Structure 1
Amino acid sequence: MHYYDVAISGSPLRSVFTYHCEEELAVGQRVMVNFAGRNVVGYITGIGIKPEFKTKSILKPLEEQIYLSEKDIELAAWTVENYLAPVGKVFDLFFPPGRLLRSRSYVIPLDPELPFSGPIKIDEALKIFDRSQLQKLKAQRKLKVLHSYEKRVPVRKKKKVLKLPLSLKVLEKLNLTDNQKQIVDYLLTIEEITPQELMKSLSLKSRSSIDTLVRKGILILKEVVETEWDKWTIRAIERLTGEQEKVKNKLLEHLNGIHYIFGLTGSGKTEVYFKVMERVLNGGKSVIYMVPEVSLTPQLMARIRGTFPGREVRVYHSYMSPVKRQRIWLDAVNGEIDILVGTRSALWIPVQNLGLIIVDEEHDSSFYQQTPPHYDAVEVAIKKGQLFNIPVILGSATPRVDRYHRAKAGEFKLHTLTNRPVGELPEIEVFDLRNTRDYIIPEETFREIEKTIKAGHQTFVFVHRKGFSNYVVCVSCGNILKCPNCDVSLTYHKHDAVMKCHYCGYVISPPSKCESCGSGTLAARGFGTERVEHELQKRFPELSIMRMDRETVSNPDLYEKALRKIESKEVDIIVGTKMISKGLDFPTIGLVVVVDTDRIINLPNYDSVENAFQLISQISGRSGRGVRGRAIIQTYEPDHRVIKTALKNNYEEFYRTEIEVRKLLKYPPFSIFIEVVVESEKEKQCRDIALKLYGDLSEKIKDGEILEPVVPAVKKLFGKYRMKIYLKLFSKDELHNLFELLKKAPTGIDVIVNSNGGSL
């Protein structure tokens, strides 16, 4: 009889459980087990010994193939220990959602000198060559391995689009209603659009005007096959600047360990990455290229396809259907992908023959998983590189303070890029809001936007939040409309005429009177992207203004369409949230406006100042890439150190100040900062559990500081009351002590270690 330690898929528990099996199984294998009366997926994490208690039998192995290596198991264990995460949920990260597709693998000869002339099963090929020979022949492009899946390739979707076939002269003679004129005018500016997109863009309540125009032959409605966004290509930049060449050579001379490229926005870090990737790919290895958000993938994929034609390039992220994710996952683990571009989830795929990991924009908070299991994907990438002996390249214009501290201390090899190959750094100007009553967009900002558009350039307007207004208040009694599930105000969305909770998704129609006093004097306060868009449209009705936030751009296809519109200059002003600050490269952006700088600086997180500096620098860096760019920072605190260092574009000065503050207050990198979140449906029970846990922590933790339980900024979330306990640990040994304590704690306790961007 064999005994195994098994982690339970999806379980919030931090423990593994012992099961037995008559047949010999392997560590890393997925199995089916009975846990708490249900048959669930489990992961064999280690070989166990016969316990004193009675054990259940493993029901069956899920797959014959073992996908996780010994190093993958080590990576999972490191993540569990360092982020105090539930074991089963960490192992879930390695696999795509759903049951894996069954596949048969075939070897296709490409070289006539090979000892077989047609496709043969991989088992037969392994009788002729061993796996290393097969891998070598594949790298030399002498053969190819293909997989036949149990499910067919999904049929490419078809859609119906509207087109305007008539000339302007013909259109002028037509007798159209106001609605029809609006539709025709809109279609004069774009090539094609679906009826649904058109109705949403023009806020049409009925489709009758569209149908009438089609019936009369003024519009054509035709069926087309949806194009894949990943076919978009951008031509490669062949020659590097002298500075880029120098950094590339240093990287290639010692391509091992962890490298950090600290380069100003627009200094050409991506071109250096590509040259290093070329060396790795030519050596028959594959590359994982990590980006913080899926929104960056369309433009990056276009550049990669333009630079590496003929290479097998895939993108992997959570917006894909489960079947598509499984197919890409299987291709990656079977060694059929050269370059895998993706977000956090791509890092966990057991990519065969991996030779390099690149983490672009490493500072970005999106690399930190904000839902359980919490982890910092950048740190996991660093650990993966060390375990698998794979070089890792991190890059940013505004490094995380703790990682830059490590780079300066020699833990990473530091490289710098200080010049822009194209364009100049933007001229940054501060607009002091204390001198104006127009706190959203002052007259001075309007004039600068107008000048930019008249010069033939585009403008980015950054707003921290989406929606029309952040809250609705009763002027009579002061009551603020809140979500019944979460202790937060409901955001008013004027376009959809709804009030929405941005945490749990609760939606209602705007009420006509106050729920507290019955008064009809309700007023919208605060502002978001929708309100700013509204103000700009009032001032510039003749301009094309596009809003980019999670409400309007909810998937990669819509994002790619938005990027195409910016690239082709179909829009003059782009109003957006954080998604427009990330890595986008458009030479026609002449002005960037940061509307609400103070909100970012004053968030109640230990790293809010760092995040504010990064955001201001990154969003400002979107301008001046092909034209003389400017950035306007609107603030009530023009003398704040973040504003002053951002004005000078001086990261080093910001870093020197911030690292001293961190040292004084014992924040990372001088401690491990932990938030323990206690949740319960009953407020008293939540408080009692938090106080009991605080007592246990005070006894167990010796080398650290523990603050008494507090009610967080958001007291209630998803129907559960919350309390937080903050800890600063000064020794890694204390992590182990905390982990052992949490194993015995009740469920409903979440732990966040060294969060990036703060938590609720």
Structure 2
Amino acid sequence: MLEFAETHSTGRKTLFVEVILPLAIAKNYTYRVPFEMNALVETGKRVVVQFGKSKLYTAIILSISEQAPEKYEAKYILEVLDDRPLVTTAQLQLWQWIADYYMCYIGEVMNAALPSVLKLASETKITLNKDIELDRSQLHDKEFLIAEALDLQPELTVSDIAKLLGQKTVMPILKMMFEKNIINISEEVSDRYKPRKRTFISLNPVYRNDDNLKELMMILERAPKQADALLAYIHLSRNQKLISKNDITEASGAGAAAIKALIDKEIFIAGEKSVSRLHHEKEEETGIFDLSEQQQHALTDIKRQFEDKDTVLLYGVTSSGKTQIYVRLIEEMIATGRQVLYLLPEIALTTHIIERLRTYFGSAIGVYHSKFNDSQRAEVWQRVMAGEYKVVLGARSAVFLPYADLGLIIVDEEHETSYKQFDPAPRYNARDVAIYLANMYNSRVLLGSATPSFESYFNARIHKYGLTELAERYGGVELPDIEVVSITEETKKKTIQGHFTGALMKDTQEALSAKEQVILFQNRRGYAPLLMCRVCAYTPKCINCDVSLTYHKSSGKLHCHYCGYKEDSPTICPACGSTHLEYKGLGTEKIEDDLSVLLPDARIARMDMDTTRSRNALQNILNDLEEKKIDILVGTQMVAKGLDFADVTVIGIINADSLLKFPDYRANERSFQLLSQVSGRAGRRGKRGKVVIQTYDTAHRVIKQIIENNYHDLYFTEMEERKSFKYPPYYRIINLDVKHKDPEMLYNQAIYLANELRKHFGDRVIGPETPLIGRIRNYYIKTIMLKFEKDGLSIVKAKTIIRDVITQFQTTKLSKGSIVQPDVDPY
């Protein structure tokens, strides 16, 4: 555990601060504190520092001492940005643990943890505020010089202004100008987070007298738009206390000019008020429900196990009512005054479930995920730190928030791979970080899943975690009827239409006739995964990555899903000149296109990465599905996770083989989880649902286990293989990805690094091997895998050795141009 120096009292002591910079550097730097700032520095506050010759960064104070660094002369900090700490000591401890466990730098953790609005760099852009009339006669010389320069060049960086003024310390001047509203600071400066202001209207007290109001209405007969605005205000004021300009405009149809005229006549009084950027501030708690006997038993069992277990796994079949158990636990935790973190793997789930939870907790619940803009994220950060939010619902990054007193963490769908961050560092798993976080706060963790990860179920079976099971769906609803259809057989019989078997089309049409809804699952976006020449078999590939390009009909282009490269779709084969080019395979876009031909009257929508990029697109799709404006929803794995809609009765899995045949030791586990979760979306309320699985391999073991909902058979079969071949949860895995733009140099580097590691770990080192995709963004990749038995070598010691070997490698000439990326628990 880190030990932090106490804040020093003001005086002439020479103080030094060790700071965390948002950079991938091995050691923290120490800076000197100017005497006049001695009383301002405190652990967890942000300071502006110069790093290198000219770069400015926001850094976080990690510790304070009177000890100067031995190896270099300490530069002065330039500015203290906060009145009170922005980062708690508990967060700093968590950051250090993540850096140690996941073999990355604490600066990389800081980068992931802090919303970008709370960070500063020397390339931050400065512009003049055009919304005010600037009286330049009131400016100081340096402020005047900056304003004049911004007239000539509308945008300057902090570095530009430092050169302009001929001094390094410009942040105090810029901060003063920002506070005077003279400039805007964009990109990564904390001070650009300002409370959102809205203009609210009130009626001049003079006109609250009925006689005066009647007289006023008569005067305004000559100005009908102003009269309409006034009448709208009077009507709105009966039901709401605060009335904004927009409220009056919407209610009256009067424009801004009419409202401005009433303000100028002093009939209306305009005033600004800070409002939240977050929604649903005024919602009341209205949710009332009773737990079933099974749910009540599970709840009692969880609470009993929490007495001696920090972590409990709730294994409940799909639609068994896990969310209602979560709600009861949250209610009890709030009653004790402590906070709750509710983690979900996808933003799709977050936006869906937030509406349900707000029914129970109203404005006590905060939301945190990447679809929020920077200012919204900063606002949630501040409110969590102040203890205003008793419940925080979020995706994986919510583990980084500054909790005041965390009592319970719920990790829903704990098996999901979305909890793992793959790029960039830190490559952390939010589920595992949550367990460490709970340990810091002496709180409890509830892991929930209908298809638990083998690691969590293994820990429950060896009694490291508690275990509670819910075997029945809520309300006695039966699990869906699953039909497996052979694509091969239907192709022979010619009963298949495009990519849709006769069985799937029959069930879909019956559901539509009954005014019910259908979800079709295909785990690949785009129109067609492959464009191929029939003559020479040429396939267009990405110029940066070793992958074929996917055709997207919406853009008419070929896309790379790894680096974002796009190119026009050719009409003539570049290799042989043939015009016989055809699309192979199918993605969600093609399924949507084909369905619109086969079922022209059906209202079809698509939910994948392409259709949910904009901020509200995802919520709009879910709202349309809820309101039955969509008959058929086509989607990738986004549709598999926790969606709960009453009228979805048919689920179609277009091609199960793409999951089952994937070359990964977890393929069977992941296939079972994904297909079971997709199936669980059917028939959740009342009527039994139907699932149609289309596959070439109807006899596959996992297909049978899904039909029987036999998780235990899958678990025991797979675990035997994992034990034999030394895979988790019996062994720990650390991957080292070595990258270089020259494949020959990469080969030599990877071989050298693997041989150095073998000197310490012997046959625990496997590789180097070329991964499934051997080049991404022009970097060729080799992977070295290390497997460590849990009962053998200390994993802490092993990581220390790996770090030392990487550091030694990076000091050699051979390492030039290479990147080495450790990935702990990579899957």
After TM superposition, the score normalised by the length of structure 1 is 0.80
Which amino acid in structure 1 is aligned with residue 823 of structure 2? I
How does 1:626-705 map onto structure 2 within 5 Å? 626=685, 627-701=687-761, 705=764
**Structure 2 residue corresponding to 1:8, chosen from 21, 31, 36:** 21
**Contact 2:314/2:446 (<8 A) preserved:** yes
Change (3 A) 1:277 1:367: same
Q: Does structure 1 residue 742 correspond to structure 2 residue 806?
A: yes
Q: 3-state SS of the aligned residue for 1:516?
A: coil
- The equivalent of 1:53 in structure 2 is 71
Structure 1 counterpart of 2:325, from 272, 275, 289: 272
Determine the structure 2 residue equivalent to 1:86: 105
CA positional deviation for 1:749: 1.4
Structure 2 residue aligned with 1:120: none
2:300 pairs with 1:249: yes
Which of 425, 428, 452 aligns to 2:482? It is 428
Question: Which is worse superposed, 47-56 or 380-389?
Answer: 47-56
- Rounded Cα–Cα distance in structure 1 between residues aligned with 2:370 and 2:422: 15
Q: 1:613 to 1:254 in 2, by over 3 A?
A: closer
Which residue of structure 1 lines up, in the alignment, with residue 684 of structure 2?
A: 625
| 1:488 positional shift | 1.0
Post-superposition shift, 1:491? 0.7
Residue of structure 2 in register with 1:319 after alignment: 371
Match of 2:466?
A: 413
SS in 2 for 1:68: coil
Match of 2:398 among 333, 346, 356: 346
Residues 28 and 43, structure 1, Cα contact 8 Å, conserved in 2: yes
Aligned 1:125-524 pairs, distance under 5 A: 151-153=194-196, 236-253=287-304, 255=306, 257-309=310-362, 311-371=363-423, 372-422=425-475, 423-437=477-491, 438=496, 440-524=499-583
Match of 1:141 in 2: none
**CA distance in 1 between partners of 2:764 and 2:42 (Å):** 42
Structure 1 residues 315-373: Cα deviation after superposition (integer angstroms, max 9, x where no partner): 11111111111111111111111221110111110122222211111111110011121
Distance 1:587 1:269 in 2: 17
Distance 2:479 2:461 in 1: 25
Cα shift at 1:729: 1.9
| Residue pair 2:17, 2:61 contacting (<8 A) in 1 also | yes
Task: Give the Cα–Cα distance (whole angstroms) in 1 for the partners of residues 285 and 676 of structure 2.
Answer: 25
Question: Are residues 532 and 688 of structure 1, via their aligned partners in 2, closer, same or farther at CA, if it must alter by over 3 Å?
Answer: same
Q: Which amino acid aligns with 2:298?
A: V
Give the partner amino acid of 1:752. Answer: D
Residue aligning to 1:42: 59
Instruction: Report if aligned partners of 1:701, 1:738 keep a CA contact under 8 Å in 2.
Output: no
SS at match of 1:727: strand
Farther off after superposition, 83-92 or 381-390:
83-92
Say if 1:441 and 1:90 are closer, same or farther in 2 by CA, change over 3 A.
Answer: same
Partner SS, residue 113 of structure 2: coil
- For 1:313, give the aligned amino acid: I
Given that residues 280 and 355 in structure 1 are in contact (C-alpha distance below 8 angstroms), is that contact kept between their aligned partners in structure 2?
yes
Does structure 1 retain, via aligned residues, the 8 Å contact 2:117–2:192?
A: no
1:65 pairs with 2:78: no
* Structure 2 residue runs without a partner (length 5+): 1-13, 121-190, 200-252, 257-276, 811-817
Q: Secondary structure at the match of 1:712?
A: coil
Shift of 1:155: 5.9
Give the whole-Å Cα distance in 2 for the aligned partners of 1:234 and 1:489: 51
1:386 offset after TM fit, Å? Answer: 0.7
- Aligned-partner SS, 1:320: coil
SS in 1 for 2:657: helix
The 3-state SS of whatever aligns with 1:305 is helix
Q: 1:479 to 1:296 in 2, by over 3 A?
A: same
Q: Following the alignment from structure 1 to structure 2, what is the Cα–Cα distance between the partners of residues 569 and 613?
A: 29
Q: CA 1:562–1:672 in structure 2 vs 1: closer, same or farther (change >3 Å)?
A: same
Q: 1:18 to 1:685 in 2, by over 3 A?
A: farther
1 CA distance for matches of 2:375 and 2:69? 40
Residue 14 of structure 1 and its aligned partner are, at CA, apart by 4.2
Residue 784 of structure 2: SS of its match in structure 1? strand
Pair 1:425–1:367, CA change in 2 (3 A): same
From the superposition, tell whether residues 378 and 251 of structure 1 become closer, same or farther in structure 2 (CA, over 3 Å).
same
Contact 1:482 1:490 (8 Å CA) reproduced: yes
Task: Give the C-alpha shift of residue 505 in structure 1.
Answer: 1.3
- Counterpart-to-counterpart distance in 1, 2:278 and 2:433: 31
- State how far apart, in whole Å, the 1-side matches of 2:255 and 2:548 are: 43
Give per-residue Cα distances to partners, 1:535-592, cap 9 Å, x unaligned: 2222111111111111112245211211121112222111100111010011211111
- Structure (1/2) with the larger helix percentage: 2
> Which of 612, 636, 640 matches 1:577?
636
Alpha-carbon separation, structure 2, partners of 1:648 and 1:694:
44
> Identity of counterpart residues, as a percentage?
31
Q: Secondary structure at the match of 2:118?
A: coil
3-state DSSP of counterpart to 2:71: coil
Q: Give the 3-state SS of the residue equivalent to 1:419 in structure 2.
A: coil
Distance 1:583 1:150 in 2: 34
Aligned length: 641
Structure 2 counterpart of 1:741, one-letter code = V
User: In 2, Cα distance between the equivalents of 1:268 and 1:567?
Assistant: 19
CA contact (8 A) 2:287 2:360 kept: yes
- Whichever residue aligns with residue 682 of structure 2, its letter is S
1:386-424 Cα offsets, whole Å, 9 max, x none, are 111011111000111011100111111111111111322
Shift, 1:687, TM fit: 2.1
Q: Per the alignment, in what secondary structure is the counterpart of residue 349 of structure 2?
A: helix
CA deviation after TM superposition for structure 1 residue 501, in Å: 1.1
- Partner of 2:767: helix, strand, or coil? coil
Q: What are the equivalent positions in structure 2 for 1:558-573 lying under 5 Å apart?
A: 558-573=617-632
Deviations along 1:46-74, one digit per CA (max 9) or x if unpaired, are 57865542243252444342233333233
* Cα distance in 2 between the residues matched to 1:237 and 1:656: 40
For the pair 1:755 / 2:815, whether they are aligned, the reply is no
Retained in 2: the 8 A contact 1:229–1:298?
A: no
**Which whole-Å deviations, capped at 9, do the CAs of 1:232-264 have from their partners, x for residues lacking one?**
999635100011111222333454611211100
Q: Distance in 2 between matches of 1:745 and 1:295?
A: 43
Q: CA separation in 1, counterparts of 2:545 and 2:193?
A: 44
Q: Structure 1 residues 328, 70: closer, same or farther in 2, change over 3 A?
A: closer
Greater shift, 537-546 or 267-276, is seen at 537-546
Q: 1:300 to 1:740 in 2, by over 3 A?
A: same
Decide whether the 8 Å contact of 1:42 with 1:88 is kept in 2: no
Could you say if the C-alpha distance between residues 285 and 457 of structure 1 is closer, same or farther in structure 2, counting changes exceeding 3 Å? same
Q: Is the 8 A contact 2:305 2:466 kept in 1?
A: no
2:804 is matched by which residue type in structure 1? E
Conserved? CA contact 2:343–2:410, under 8 Å? yes
Cα distance between partner residues in 2 of 1:229 and 1:591 = 33
RMSD, aligned CA: 2.7
